[in-house]
Each structure stands twice: as structure tokens, then as C-alpha cells.
């Protein structure tokens, strides 16, 4: 076995960070600000500089299925989805999922974080995390004091680049009494509007571009790409290093201070389980030596599940533009000459957070308008490249706070065996009720005067489906992940109901932290990348404070 170390003869790094994703890039960057810290960042995927599709917003269509930068997981057949397997793209490249996501920027609701604290995540209430949300962002369009204006992640709105269908959608929402919220990341999430995105001058901003890219020239930071971490090594309860596969051989790097797992909601619990940290009886049955019996590792998996209703438009949509040579040329010209137009922005251009019924006491569902459709794309292809030939568009919805809980677990200690993913979607009455309410609300929006002026007909599921049973059956047949798996190493006080303590240290171990979306105690409302980056910033502060 060969040893990767900072300099020949030096056995250990001060810190090893596993996973260069949304959180990991922040941590490696913050740790290496101090030139006295030697930091090794290990990433399974390749260097991002070879993949321009991760920088141009419309490159989302390409990276969605690109196995060079994407783990391309599948869940087990889900009974809640009538036995379907859900396709789960996850970023496998510097920047992680933040390099392939749809770039909608959302902080979650204040009440989500207050619930984190109530569940035992001391120091993670809204008033605590707000300063970190402000720290990460630079929001030039909002003078609201709750927003940050000096952080590395530049946020812009889609408004200038948005297709005009979005305005019909917002007007339709207005007819139903859903007010426009000019800054849904400030005082309240409630309302509708143009989405905020981490896009600046026509390019994706991620924690790779905003943090790691600037840090990578530091001499005390080494970034190792195409290296898959197998497991951690221990002496007693102290982690001594990391075993990983690189260039077809198994290698070892030693650590003197701490190992940080930032491998995401799938990767982090899987590495812990392979290291013997997890449900002891189960891991023993796989022949894995137990380091710490922690039954919750991989449990408590949460995700947003969503569905889209598709319409044939009376006006031209992005389908028409991208299906015509002239339209593509215009889009390309607008992008390359001015960084404008549909190539420069997210596919999710407007939406918001609303109540699916008056009886709900907080905005419990999220809405998305996409001015395009890709119904005819067979699964496994790149859907947006093959847009439908008609003027299609969709209104999508997902629950903010589903109560279904799943799990992620290994079936072997072998690196080449993918984990089993069981989200357990739609397994609670609460989730079924809200899902039904949300699709009924889509129908209401589509029936407004504003939307009727642009809708020819509903294509899918189609107006023949009307009663609750039919709509729920359609939900089970067509709903899918909104790509927000999290909570598999949740923060809490006790080892029997959580994995890390509020300082993000794994219960029972001396020097291993998890810092990524897996530590969320519950899934925040809306898109979660901003929360993962916030966790990276706050986690770095905790790590550095404990190092003093």
C-alpha cells in the first residue's frame, strides 16, 4: 500500500476532507486559509475544469445524465411510486451536486431551523444560521438587511431572462390571492415570484467557483481527484487516516487532527457504515468489524418528491425556440454576445411557496413554472436536448416538509457495490394529503383567466383524471425526486436518535465530523443547496474553534 502524504516523510495531514461538494469545498477553503494547516481534499470525481457544461447554466441538460460527473444512483423499487425506481443524479466532480444542480437559491423557512434546534441541534436555530446565510451570499438586487451583500456566492434573479409565460403564471397566482414576494429569501418565503439563482453574468456560481477555485493555489491545500474513499482507519476511537482507491490501487493517508466527511447524504453514511460506524448487528452480518454502534447512520433519509402537470401552450414556448435552427442561433447569440436569454438561466424561472389549502398554517408547498417540456424523451437520454415538438410547458409542485422517512445502507463493505437507497416516498397520510392538495392547486392555477389565455389543453395527466383516487394514482405513477436527499447523519444530542452532536462530531468518535446535507435534522422547505453551503460555513467555524 502506498502512502499519499504532504511531503515525503511526513506521515499525516492535519485535516482530511472527504468530498468536494457544496459543503466540502467551503470547508477545505476555510481550513486552508491558515497556512499552518495542511489539508487534503479527496474527491471521487474528476477536476471540473474539463467540463464547461458545469459552468454554462443550460449545461444542466447535459450533466443530468453524464456519468463522467454524475453518480447516477437509482433507488430500490418504491411501493409508494407503484414499484418504480427513482433516478437520483448526484454530482461526482469538484463542486459535487452544486456543479450539476438547477441553481435555484433558497434558504428554507425560519421555522425549519427553529425545529432543528427543538430537535436537539443546539445553536442551529434561525437566529444562529441567519448570520451564515448572510455570510455566504452577495445579493445585489435586495437592500433588505436580512440579506448578505459581501459573500462569495452571487445571487441574481431570473426575471430578465425569463420566458414571458412566467408572467402569465404569476398573474394567475395573483388571481388566486397568492401575492408576489419580491424577495422570498428575506422576511418570509410565502408568495410567488421569479426565482433567485446562483448565476452571475451567465455562469453558474457554486462552492467550487466561489471558494475552492480561489483556494486551490494554496501550498497547504492538496486536492486529490478521481479518488474513492473506502473507509476510515482507527486506533481506539481516534481516526488515524483514510483508505481510498486511486489509479486502481488502494492508498492510505494519515491524519493528525480531524477527518471531515462531506460526501453528501448518500456518501457520508456509506463511508461511516463501511468503517464499522452504524447499526452494529446489521454491519456485523456483513462481516464488518464494529467501531461504534450508531443505529441512525443512514436512517432518517428525507427528500422532496414532486410532480409536473404538462400543457400545450397557445403561445410559443422554449420548445419552439430550441427546436428551430433560427431559435437556437438566437439563443446562442444572446448568450455569447450578452450572457442573456434562455442559455444563461435556470430551467426553473418562477414559482414560490404557498399553502395548498387554507387549513395549512404555513406555506407547505413549492411551485415551479418551466417554459418547456420533454415528455417524449425516453428515460436514460438527456431530456432537455430532446424537447417536445409542440409548444409545451409545465407547472410543477413539491411538498416543503414531507414526513416520509427512508434509509441508505450498504450490502457489502466493497467499494464497487452501490448502496441501497429506500426513500419510502408517500408512506404517510400527511404526504398523500398534501400531494393531492398540491395537484388540485395546480389545476386551480391553470384555470385562472391569465393561464387560460395561454393554455390550449392539459396534456398530462389529462383532464379525464378528476377524482382523488385517479389523481393520487397518477401521482404515484409520475412523481419523482426533486433531488434533495438529506438527513442521513442527523444532528442530535443522543446516539440512539442521531449521528452527530451539535458540533457535528460523530457520537462516540474523537475526531470525525460530518459536514454536509446529511446532518440536517429535518429537510428544510425548498431547494437545499444554500443550506448545505451554510452548514459548510458554520461547520468550518465549529471545527476551527475546537482546534484552538
Q: Are strands 227-235 and 238-246 parallel, antiparallel or unpaired?
A: antiparallel
Torsion of CA 422, 22, 106, 183, to 10 degrees: 180
* Residue 96 Cβ vs ligand FAD, minimum distance, rounded to whole Å: 3
Short-list 269, 298, 230, 253, CA closest to 44? 230
d(CA 42, CA 223): 6
The C-alpha cell that represents 437 in the structure block: 392538495
> 541 phi and psi, to 5 degrees?
-65, -40
Cα–Cα–Cα angle for 154, 156, 158, nearest 5°? 150
CB of 444 to ligand FAD, least distance (A): 25
- Of residues 108 and 492, the one with the C-beta less far from ligand FAD: 108
> Residue 299 Cβ, how far from ligand FAD at the closest point, in Å?
17
Asked whether 496 and 295 are in contact (CB, 8 A), the reply is yes
Q: Can you give the binding site for ligand FAD, defined by CB under 6 A?
A: 18-24, 42-45, 64, 89-92, 96-98, 100-104, 106, 228-229, 262-265, 267, 271, 483-484, 516-517, 527-530, 532
Q: Which is nearer to ligand FAD, 306 or 492 (CB)?
A: 306
Least distance from ligand FAD to the Cβ atom of residue 334, Å:
22
Name the 3-class secondary structure at 133.
Answer: helix
CB closer to ligand FAD out of 154 and 391: 154
Mode of pairing for the β-strands spanning 299-301 and 305-313: unpaired
Least Å distance, CB 92 to ligand FAD, is 4
Nearer to ligand FAD by C-beta: 22 or 345?
22
Q: Which residue is nearest to ligand FAD (CB)?
A: 21
Q: Catalogue the E-assigned strands of 410-474.
A: 420-422, 455-460
3-state secondary structure of 269: helix
CB 536 to ligand FAD: min, Å: 7
Q: State which residue, 22 or 373, has the beta carbon closest to ligand FAD.
A: 22
- The grid coordinates of residue 270 equal 456509506
Q: Which is nearer to ligand FAD, 1 or 325 (CB)?
A: 1
By C-beta, is 64 or 409 nearer to ligand FAD?
64
What is the distance in angstroms between the CA of the first residue and the CA of the last residue of the chain? 34
CA distance 313 to 311: 6
Smaller CB distance to ligand FAD: residue 106 or 318? 106
Calpha distance 106→351 (Å, rounded): 12
Min dist CB 481 to ligand FAD, Å, is 9
Which listed residue (163, 246, 484, 507) is catalytic?
A: 484
**Element (H or E) spanning 222, and its range?**
strand 221-224
Q: Which residues are within 8 A (CB) of 116 and not within 5 positions of it... i.e. 6 or more apart? A: 124, 125, 491, 520, 521, 522
Instruction: Say whether the peptide bond before residue 410 is cis (omega within 30 degrees of 0).
Output: no
Minimum distance from residue 59 beta carbon to ligand FAD (Å) = 12
Under a CB-based contact definition with an 8 Å cutoff, are residues 406 and 420 in contact? no
With contact defined as beta carbons under 8 Å apart, do 115 and 462 qualify? no
Q: Is 484 a catalytic residue?
A: yes
Residues with catalytic roles: 484
Amino acid at each position: 500500500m502506498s502512502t499519499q502524504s504532504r511531503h515525503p516523510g511526513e506521515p499525516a495531514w492535519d485535516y482530511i476532507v472527504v468530498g468536494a461538494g457544496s459543503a466540502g469545498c467551503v470547508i477545505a477553503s476555510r481550513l486552508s486559509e491558515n497556512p499552518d494547516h495542511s489539508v487534503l481534499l479527496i474527491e471521487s470525481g474528476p477536476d471540473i475544469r474539463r467540463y464547461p457544461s458545469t459552468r454554462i447554466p443550460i449545461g444542466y441538460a447535459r450533466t443530468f445524465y453524464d456519468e463522467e460527473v454524475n453518480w447516477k444512483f437509482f433507488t430500490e423499487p418504491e411501493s409508494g411510486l407503484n414499484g418504480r425506481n427513482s433516478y437520483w443524479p448526484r454530482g461526482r466532480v469538484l463542486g459535487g451536486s452544486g456543479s450539476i444542480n438547477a441553481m435555484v437559491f433558497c434558504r428554507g423557512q425560519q421555522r425549519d431551523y427553529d425545529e432543528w434546534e427543538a430537535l436537539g441541534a443546539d445553536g442551529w436555530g434561525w437566529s444562529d444560521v441567519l448570520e451564515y446565510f448572510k455570510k455566504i451570499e452577495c445579493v445585489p438586487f435586495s437592500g433588505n438587511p436580512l440579506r448578505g451583500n459581501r459573500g462569495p456566492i452571487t445571487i441574481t434573479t431570473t426575471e430578465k431572462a425569463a420566458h414571458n409565460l412566467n408572467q402569465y403564471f404569476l398573474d394567475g397566482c395573483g388571481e388566486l390571492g397568492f401575492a408576489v414576494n419580491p424577495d422570498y429569501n428575506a422576511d418570509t418565503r410565502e408568495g410567488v415570484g421569479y426565482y433567485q439563482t446562483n448565476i452571475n453574468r451567465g455562469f453558474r456560481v457554486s462552492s467550487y467557483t466561489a471558494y475552492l477555485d480561489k483556494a486551490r493555489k494554496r501550498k497547504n491545500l492538496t486536492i486529490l481527484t478521481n479518488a474513492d474513499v473506502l473507509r476510515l482507519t482507527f486506533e481506539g476511537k481516534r481516526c488515524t487516516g483514510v483508505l481510498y482507491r486511486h489509479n486502481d490501487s488502494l492508498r492510505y493517508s494519515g491524519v493528525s487532527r480531524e477527518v471531515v466527511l462531506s460526501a453528501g447524504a448518500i456518501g457520508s453514511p456509506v463511508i461511516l457504515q463501511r468503517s464499522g460506524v452504524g447499526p452494529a448487528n446489521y454491519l456485523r452480518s456483513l462481516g464488518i468489524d464494529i467501531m461504534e454502534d450508531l443505529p441512525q447512520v443512514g436512517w432518517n433519509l428525507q427528500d422532496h418528491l414532486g410532480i409536473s402537470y404538462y400543457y400545450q401552450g397557445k403561445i410559443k414556448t422554449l420548445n419552439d425556440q430550441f427546436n428551430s435552427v433560427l431559435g437556437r442561433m438566437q439563443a446562442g447569440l444572446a448568450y455569447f454576445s450578452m450572457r442573456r436569454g434562455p442559455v444563461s438561466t435556470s430551467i426553473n424561472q418562477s414559482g414560490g411557496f404557498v399553502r395548498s389549502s387554507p387549513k395549512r398554517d404555513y406555506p407547505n408547498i413549492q411551485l415551479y413554472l418551466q417554459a418547456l417540456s420533454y415528455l417524449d424523451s425516453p428515460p436514460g437520454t438527456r431530456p432537455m436536448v430532446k424537447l417536445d415538438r409542440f409548444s409545451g410547458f409545465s407547472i410543477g409542485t413539491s411538498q416543503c416538509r414531507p414526513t416520509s422517512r427512508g434509509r441508505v445502507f450498504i450490502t457489502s463493505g466493497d467499494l464497487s457495490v452501490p448502496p441501497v437507497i429506500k426513500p419510502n416516498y408517500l408512506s404517510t397520510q400527511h404526504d398523500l394529503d398534501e400531494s393531492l392538495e398540491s395537484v388540485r392547486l395546480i389545476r386551480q392555477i391553470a384555470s385562472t383567466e391569465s393561464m387560460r389565455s395561454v393554455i390550449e389543453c392539459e396534456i398530462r395527466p389529462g383532464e379525464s383524471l378528476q377524482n382523488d383516487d385517479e389523481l393520487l394514482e397518477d401521482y404515484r405513477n409520475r412523481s419523482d425526486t426533486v433531488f434533495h436527499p438529506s438527513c442521513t447523519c442527523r444532528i442530535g444530542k443522543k446516539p440512539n436518535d442521531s449521528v452527530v452532536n451539535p458540533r457535528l462530531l460523530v457520537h462516540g468518535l474523537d475526531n470525525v465530523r460530518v459536514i454536509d446535507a446529511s446532518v440536517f435534522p429535518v429537510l428544510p422547505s425548498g431547494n437545499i443547496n444554500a443550506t448545505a453551503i451554510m452548514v459548510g460555513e458554520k461547520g468550518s467555524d465549529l471545527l476551527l474553534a475546537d482546534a484552538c
